[in-house]
Amino acid sequence: MKPLTSFKRAPIQLAGPTSKNRSAFLSSELTQNFYIEVDKPGSILQPFPGCKTFHTNTNVAQPDRGCTVFKDELYKLSGDKFYKVDSAGVAQDLGNIPGTDPVVFATDGTDLFIATGSTPYIYNTTLAAIADADFENPSTAAFLNGQVIVDGATNRFGVTDVLNIQSIDALNYATANAVPGDLKRVYVFEDFIYFFCDENTERWYNSGEGNPPIDRLDGASIKVGIDAPYSVSNTETFIYFLADDLRVYRLRNSVEENVTTISVSQQIEGFETTNDARGFCFNWQGQNFYFLTFPTANKTFLYSETFNQWVNLSFGLAGGRHLANSYAFCYGKHLVTDYRNGSVYELDKDTFTDAGELIQRIRVLPNLTGDLIDAPGQRLLINKMELVIERGNGNADERKPQIVVEFSGDAGRSWKSLNFINVGQAGQFLTKVDYNLMESFYEGTFRITATDPNYFTLKAATVFVKNYGY
């Protein structure tokens, strides 16, 4: 094949998901601390919101165990301390709940039930341990029709008295036993009760008859169990959870759907510990998201229900899991608790740091091959990449932001040609950036890294390449 005499312009996908494969030559694609926004006529990468301080927990030895909204106010458990945090971010110490495990909250609107994995607690105006010995140390709880449903010993579950959620009759226990195994999580969605067990999930309803007054729906045993009890959360449309096969499923009625990509599956399967994963759902500027973090593995993923895409989230310049551990929408704010110390942050689109730390945003582009110019298997020569970056007004912290662009000629196994590139001063809303280089390759890719605390989006990219022979 005779080499091309001139460079050919070829557009490449700048806005895309994390799709990093075990084999770099298949894909090294990574999106970290951006999320994808799609609209006609194309898509862009938006910066994931920063963590703006809302409440600072002065006792840094109190890791987060969970938070909730009760009577329109924020409550959280940090270490063994139970707090109410008001709209000004001021915390009131309400008492102690021993233990270190995560907690699950349920409420009838009057009382707040707190499942701890040991003695449950109740809060109204004061915090107290529940005295009823018929509770079997529930780890999870959910409210439906004036009663709280709790997990019990092995595969047992119980239902509290009507309008008295701190009392349970010993006769109001039954077993979720369509398939043998332990009950791991009780959850209510769209007025149905979901019992997540080791190897299956059962759907029940409140019949109002018998002891307990709930019954299993015929044919509603779902042949997917749960791996991580605290990974369960829901949007208005689906329940999400990490299943026993280490895939993320979304569930509605009795129909389950695996939403995990090969890339995300490969990463999760490589984690030594997965059953401590925590998840929550939230809606951000019109998109439904499922946030899934792995404490032991030190990794965080973000799934867009709206666009069916996965990206990675991280904290600081060293990487690791995102700060967020629990979530609540309260006081008109998206609030998350810091897994390390129970501090509370507001997810804020105009904050470009996480708790004062720089955010490292990374985009590794899809691999470039001869297929770009209808020359499959051919060696290419590149002399320029052109980026279109949409920016905002900047801020006083950094008036002249830069990005780092690197090139790899071996599909992301090693990097070279590191360049710091100015992306325009404040007020330059649409900036075209040219990155000049001269490299030959069979499988090439680019990595774009940004850490300056400014708003900008990644919009489009073009490379100029030609055939360079075999």
Which residues constitute the domain of residue 103?
A: 50-358
Mean pLDDT (the chain) is: 92
* Amino acid sitting at position 407: F
* Amino acid sitting at position 101: D
405, 419 Cβ separation under 8 angstroms: yes
Q: Is 418 helix (H, G, I), strand (E, B) or coil?
A: strand
Beta bridge partners of 216: 204
Instruction: Determine the Cα–Cα distance for residues 168 and 147; give it in Å rounded to an integer.
Output: 10
Instruction: Tell me: do 61 and 164 sit in the same domain.
Output: yes
At 21, which CATH number? Answer: 2.60.120.260
Instruction: Determine the Cα–Cα distance for residues 403 and 422; give it in Å rounded to an integer.
Output: 7
Whether 427 shows a pLDDT value over 70: the answer reads no
Instruction: Tell me: do 438 and 331 sit in the same domain.
Output: no
Instruction: Tell me: do 187 and 262 sit in the same domain.
Output: yes
Instruction: Tell me: do 71 and 93 sit in the same domain.
Output: yes
Instruction: Tell me: do 421 and 399 sit in the same domain.
Output: yes
Of 391 and 93, the one with more pLDDT = 93
Residue 28 forms part of a structural domain? yes
Residue 2 forms part of a structural domain? no
Whether 440 shows a pLDDT value over 70: the answer reads yes
Digit-coded pLDDT (tens) for 249-306: 999 988 999 999 999 999 999 999 999 999 999 999 999 999 999 999 999 999 999 9
Q: What angle do CA 273, 276, 281 make, to 5 degrees?
A: 130
Task: Provide the percentage of residues in the chain whose pLDDT is more than 70.
Answer: 94
Q: Could you identify the residue written with the tokens 């109190």? A: 62
346: its two tokens: 């507001």
Q: Is 146 helix (H, G, I), strand (E, B) or coil?
A: coil
Instruction: Tell me: do 13 and 58 sit in the same domain.
Output: no
371, 427 Cβ separation under 8 angstroms: no
Ramachandran angles phi, psi of 16, nearest 5°: -160, 175
Q: Which of 333, 358, 383 is the last residue of a domain?
A: 358
39's CB contacts (< 8 A; 6+ apart) are: none
Residue 3 forms part of a structural domain? no
Q: What is the pLDDT of residue 219?
A: 78
Q: Hey, which bits of 213-258 come out as E strands?
A: 214-222, 233-234, 239-242, 248-252, 255-258
Domain count, the chain: 2
Instruction: Find the mean pLDDT for residues 100-112.
Output: 97
Residue 209 forms part of a structural domain? yes
Instruction: Find the mean pLDDT for residues 70-83.
Output: 98
18: its two tokens: 């994390």
Q: What is the pLDDT of residue 23?
A: 67
Ramachandran angles phi, psi of 373, nearest 5°: -120, 30
Residue 1 forms part of a structural domain? no
283's CB contacts (< 8 A; 6+ apart) are: 235, 289
At 306, which CATH number? Answer: 2.130.10.10
Instruction: Determine the Cα–Cα distance for residues 441 and 439; give it in Å rounded to an integer.
Output: 7
Distance (Å) of CA 333 to CA 77, 329, 337, 346: 19, 6, 13, 6
Q: What is the pLDDT of residue 434?
A: 85
Instruction: Tell me: do 42 and 57 sit in the same domain.
Output: no
Digit-coded pLDDT (tens) for 340-387: 999 999 999 999 999 999 999 999 999 999 999 988 889 999 999 998
Residue 132 forms part of a structural domain? yes
Digit-coded pLDDT (tens) for 205-248: 999 999 999 999 987 789 999 999 999 999 999 999 999 999 99
Q: What is the pLDDT of residue 161?
A: 95
Whether 330 shows a pLDDT value over 90: the answer reads yes
Q: What is the pLDDT of residue 1?
A: 46
Of 230 and 12, the one with more pLDDT = 230
Q: Nearest to residue 411, comparing CAs of 380, 435, 390?
A: 380
Q: Could you identify the residue written with the tokens 């926004």? A: 37
Q: What is the pLDDT of residue 420?
A: 86
Please tell me the least confidently modeled range out of 165-179, 385-399, 409-423: 385-399
Instruction: Tell me: do 65 and 34 sit in the same domain.
Output: no
Q: Which of 299, 327, 358 is the last residue of a domain?
A: 358
Instruction: Find the mean pLDDT for residues 405-429.
Output: 81
Q: What is the pLDDT of residue 421?
A: 81
Instruction: Tell me: do 201 and 302 sit in the same domain.
Output: yes
